Structure formats: structure tokens, C-alpha cells
Amino acid sequence: MKKYNFNAGPSILPREVIEQTAAACLDFENSGLSLMTISHRAKNFQPVVDEAEALFKELLDIPEGYKVLFLGGGASLEFCMIPYNFLEKKAAYLNTGVWATKAMKEAKLFGEVVEVASSADKNFTYIPKDFEIPTDADYLHITSNNTIYGTELRKDIDSPIPLIADMSSDIFSRPLDVSKYALIYGGAQKNLAMAGVTFVIVKEDALGKVSRQIPTMLDYRTHVKKGSMFNTPPVVPIYSALMNLRYIKAHGGVKAMEQLAQERAKIVYGEIDRNKLFVGTAEEESRSLMNLTFVLKPEYQELQDEFMAFATSKGMVGIKGHRDVGGFRASCYNAMSIEGCEALVACMKEFESNH
């Protein structure tokens, strides 16, 4: 049976990206050596990092003055690296869920943290609007897509202070105005690559503004200076990212990815809204195009386990909702096909007609 991978992360990747990475693990560029066993300083690996950075810049139209880094530690390590490198006295955070809250917790170790707005009052089902950004804060931190709650900002906001964004789960799903950000970061394992690498897009002249001492490995300037090669970077995950960046380029770039995301969302949200059994959890104007969350209506709650089993029997994988939301979550990253979304919809329709 065909499986449709709706996992929230690590998540679906194009088949060819997986095949190319697997092939390189057996024989890297006809060298007779596995990608897993070569030196990151080998002369045939440097071009991998260089091309990955160049494709980041090309696909996201990154202006001059920015550097792209490939690091370890996941988005979670960035939660502390950001205040380490940017927080002198005070930082502002927009609280849109679990990940934003975790980022705030780390920042509090370094100084004052102002929560500019929060959607905790309604279990993070919406993105707050019209909040005030304190102009005396060192930066504003946002989470552009809330993987758990299925909400997304989906635009580049204007900020009078340096803007920093966790884009773990929506990077490369739409064109960006990178010039509005001081730093963009994320774990690669949602929409970019296999797990194990963290991407950081940083404006070079935004660095070096804090007075504290920063441990070498946690100082972004170390990695800028050494081109992500200060220590051994995650070689295989970076290679998988490069394969996916090539795939994105060959398939029309981020504009085409955005159009596909809109098509998928129309199909799946369309069915969530039509089907008598289900209801979406996020407010309509905050709905994510990446993580589509829905639950059974109160009067059908007892069908939870039955729908999970039914969907699983039809090949749907990873649609169980996060425990903080319940119900179901269909994560539809770049590699999810329209056919996959149609299969999910067919499954929801069939389940409805059985009840």
C-alpha cells in the first residue's frame, strides 16, 4: 500500500533527494568513498557547502551582507545562541506557542524579556495582531510557523528593531523579504533536509553588539568567519539539504512551492470545512499552509481512535495531532503531493459516509 507521510518533523522529502543522498553515502561522486567517511575538509566537500549557501541566497533572494550557516544543535540551541549574541538588556518576544515559549525561557537567562503579545488565552489558535514593539529592546523574536498549533504569520512584518525569526517549519515555502530580518534560523528536518543540521541566515553587521564574552562555539562570528567549518559540520545532512535545494530550484523555486502549498491547503482545509465530522482548530486567517490541524466535532469525539485506525489503514502516516492540541495534524511540506492531499480527503469523505 502507498504511504503518505504527513509527519510534522522529521518529515517528508522528495524521493530523489533521499535517493541521491543514499547514493552518496555509498559512493560520493565516484570517489569510491562513502559521504559518511570523508573529511569535511576534503576538497570535494567544500563545493557542497558553497553551493548550498549559493542556492539559499538565490532561492530566497538574500541581499548582500548576509551569511548562511550550517550548524549543529537544532533550532533549540539557537534559542540560547540568539540572546547570547543579541541581548544586551532587553528583548521582545511574540508568544505564539510552545516553541516561542521555549525561546523566551532561554532569553530570560540573559536579560529582561518583554512578551509583546500572546495567543495563550485561546490555546495559540491565532497569531496576535496590532501589538506594540518596544523600540528600546535589542530585538524582536517571532516564530513564523507554529508547527504544533497550525498557525502561520506568512508575511514579513516591519519591525523598528532587529527582527529574528524561527522559520523551522516554513522556510522555502514562500518568497521572503530577507532584508527585514537580522537573523532567520531553523532546524532543517521540517521542510529542508534530513535531521541533523540547523540553518542560520544572519546579517553580518547585526553581530558584535553585545558586551558579554561569548563561548567560541556559541558565537555566530566564529561560524561566519570559518564558513560553517570551525568544527566538523553535519556532512550528510548538509548534502541532503543541497539535494533538496537543487530540487526546489528545478521545480520553480519558492514561488512555485508557495503555489503548491496554497493548492494543498485549499484541498485539505476545504474538506475540513465541508465534512460534518471535523472542524479546524486554528482561526481561519491564521491557518498554516504547512501544518493543517483539525479535530472531531464535540458530538463525534468518540470516533477519535476509529478515525486514526481507518486513516492508518488507508496509508496515512503521522496525522495524529500534537498532545497540546489533540485530534489530527496533516503536515504538508514542499514534498507532499496534491495526490497525497486528495488521498487524505478521500479517506475523510469515506469515513464520513460510514457514519
Ligand X SMILES: *Cc1c(COP(=O)(O)O)cnc(C)c1O
- Give, to the nearest 10 degrees, the angle between helix 338-353 and helix 253-274: 0
- Give, to the nearest 10 degrees, the angle between helix 74-86 and helix 98-107: 40
Binding mask 185-204 for ligand X (x = CB under 6 A): --x--x--------------
Nearer to ligand X, 287 or 314 (CB): 287
Measure the CA–CA gap between 207 and 319, rounded to whole angstroms: 40
Which position's Cβ is nearest ligand X? 187
Of 138, 156, 166, 170, catalytic? 166
Instruction: Work out how close the CB of 69 gets to ligand X at its nearest, in angstroms, rounded to a whole number.
Output: 14
Measure the CA–CA gap between 354 and 276, rounded to whole angstroms: 12
Q: Does 147 bind ligand X (CB under 6 A)?
A: yes
**Could you count the other beta carbons within 10 Å of the beta carbon of residue 200?**
21
Instruction: Work out how close the CB of 295 gets to ligand X at its nearest, in angstroms, rounded to a whole number.
Output: 20
User: Any catalytic annotation for residue 276?
Assistant: no
Q: Does 143 bind ligand X (CB under 6 A)?
A: yes
- Sheet with 328-331, strands from edge to edge, namely 278-280, 291-296, 328-331
- Give, to the nearest 10 degrees, the angle between helix 46-59 and helix 235-250: 40
The region of 37-45, 132-140, 166-174, 333-341 touching ligand X under the rule CB under 6 A is 166-174
Nearer to ligand X, 85 or 198 (CB): 198
Instruction: Work out how close the CB of 10 gets to ligand X at its nearest, in angstroms, rounded to a whole number.
Output: 9
Measure the CA–CA gap between 97 and 143, rounded to whole angstroms: 8
Of 67, 156, 170, 190, catalytic? 190
User: Any catalytic annotation for residue 67?
Assistant: no
Chosen residue from 85, 168, 288, 293 binding ligand X by CB under 6 A: 168
User: Any catalytic annotation for residue 166?
Assistant: yes
* CA nearest to 198, candidates 220, 221, 175, 178: 220
Q: How far is CA 127 from CA 94, 100, 237, 341, in A?
A: 9, 12, 32, 25
For residue 240, give the C-alpha cell: 541532503
List of residues 6+ apart from 226 with CB closer than 8 A? none
Binding mask 69-108 for ligand X (x = CB under 6 A): -----xxx----------------------x---------
| Total binding residues toward ligand X, as defined by CB under 6 A | 12
Nearer to ligand X, 296 or 334 (CB): 334
Of 67, 99, 219, 320, catalytic? 99
Buried b (16+ CB within 10 A) or exposed e, 49-78: beebbebbbebbebeeebbbbbbebbbebb
Nearer to ligand X, 9 or 237 (CB): 9
The region of 68-76, 215-223, 258-266, 327-335 touching ligand X under the rule CB under 6 A is 68-76
Instruction: Work out how close the CB of 177 gets to ligand X at its nearest, in angstroms, rounded to a whole number.
Output: 20
Q: Does 166 bind ligand X (CB under 6 A)?
A: yes
Measure the CA–CA gap between 109 and 84, rounded to whole angstroms: 9
- Positions marked catalytic: 99, 166, 190
Q: Which residues bind ligand X (CB under 6 A)?
A: 9, 74-76, 99, 143, 147, 166, 168-169, 187, 190
